[in-house]
Amino acid sequence: MNLAKPKIILTIIVMLAAILRFWQLGTNPPSLTWDEASWGYNAYSLGIDRRDEFGRFLPFDYLESFGDFKPPMYAYLDIVPIWIFGLNEFAVRFPSALFGTLTVLVTYFLVKRLFFSTRINTSALALLSAFILAISPWHINLSRAAFEANIATFFLICGVWLFLCGVYERKWCLVLSIASFVLSLYTFNSARVVAPILVLILGIGFRKELLEQKKHAMIALVVGILLILPSLKFFLSSEANLRFREVNIFSDPKVIEIANQEIANDGNEWWSKIIHNRRFAYTVAYLRHYFDNFNPSFLFIKGDGNPKFSTQDVGQMYLWDLPFLVAGAFVLLRKREGCWWIISLWLIIGIIPAATARETPHALRIEAALPTFQILTAYGVFIFVNTISNINRRLNLGQIAKIPALPAGRQIKYLVLSLCFLFLIFNFLYYYHGYYAHYPREFSGEWQYGYKDSIEFVETIKDDFDQINVTTLLGRPYIYYLFYTKTHPEDFRRTAIVREDPYGFTHVDGFGAYKFGDDLSKLDNGNKRILYVNVSGRSPRKANIFKTVKLLNNDPVFTIYEIVHMPEEEKKNE
In tens, the pLDDT along 69-109 reads 999 999 999 999 999 999 999 999 999 999 999 999 999 99
pLDDT one-digit tens code per residue, 259-276: 777 777 777 777 776 676
Cα dihedral across residues 80, 85, 91, 96: positive or negative? negative
Phi-psi region of 55 (alpha: psi -120 to 50; beta: other; left: phi over 0): left
Q: Distance between CA 268 and CA 258 in Å, rounded?
A: 14
| 510 neighbors 497 (Cβ within 8 angstroms) | yes
Q: Distance between CA 188 and CA 68 in Å, rounded?
A: 12
The neighbouring-strand residues paired with 560 are 533, 547
Q: Distance between CA 95 and CA 155 in Å, rounded?
A: 13
| 339 neighbors 452 (Cβ within 8 angstroms) | no
pLDDT one-digit tens code per residue, 529-573: 999 999 998 888 888 999 999 999 999 999 999 987 655 544 444
Q: Distance between CA 319 and CA 315 in Å, rounded?
A: 7
Contacts of 555 (CB under 8 A, 6+ apart): 445
Contacts of 11 (CB under 8 A, 6+ apart): none
The candidate with the shortest Cα–Cα distance to 21, out of 117, 158, 140, 186, is: 140
The candidate with the shortest Cα–Cα distance to 523, out of 484, 571, 466, 474, is: 466
- pTM to 2 decimals? 0.92
Q: CA-CA distances (angstroms) from residue 101 to 104, 132, 206, 279, 405?
A: 5, 13, 30, 43, 46
Q: Residue range 322-340: average pLDDT?
A: 95
| 327 neighbors 443 (Cβ within 8 angstroms) | no
| 289 neighbors 355 (Cβ within 8 angstroms) | yes
pLDDT one-digit tens code per residue, 130-157: 999 999 999 999 999 999 999 999 999 9
Report percent pLDDT > 90 for the chain.
72
The candidate with the shortest Cα–Cα distance to 438, out of 282, 540, 269, 314, is: 314
Q: Rounded to 5 degrees, what are φ and ψ at 507?
A: -125, 135
Output the pLDDT for position 240.
64
DSSP per-residue string spanning 80-96: HHHHHH-SSHHHHHHHH
Cα dihedral across residues 165, 78, 93, 295: positive or negative? positive
Helix (H, G, I), strand (E, B) or coil at 516: strand
pLDDT-based confidence at residue 312 (cuts at 50, 70, 90): very high
| 361 neighbors 297 (Cβ within 8 angstroms) | no
| 78 neighbors 40 (Cβ within 8 angstroms) | yes
Output the pLDDT for position 266.
72
DSSP per-residue string spanning 51-78: B-TT--BS-SS-B-TTTT-B-SHHHHHT
Q: CA-CA distances (angstroms) from residue 317 to 139, 300, 530?
A: 9, 5, 50
Helix (H, G, I), strand (E, B) or coil at 539: coil
Output the pLDDT for position 573.
44
Sheet with strand 530-535: strands edge to edge: 497-500, 506-511, 514-517, 467-471, 530-535, 556-563, 543-550
Q: Residue range 488-506: average pLDDT?
A: 91
Helix (H, G, I), strand (E, B) or coil at 527: coil
Q: Distance between CA 472 and CA 520 in Å, rounded?
A: 9
Q: Is the pLDDT of residue 316 over 90?
A: yes
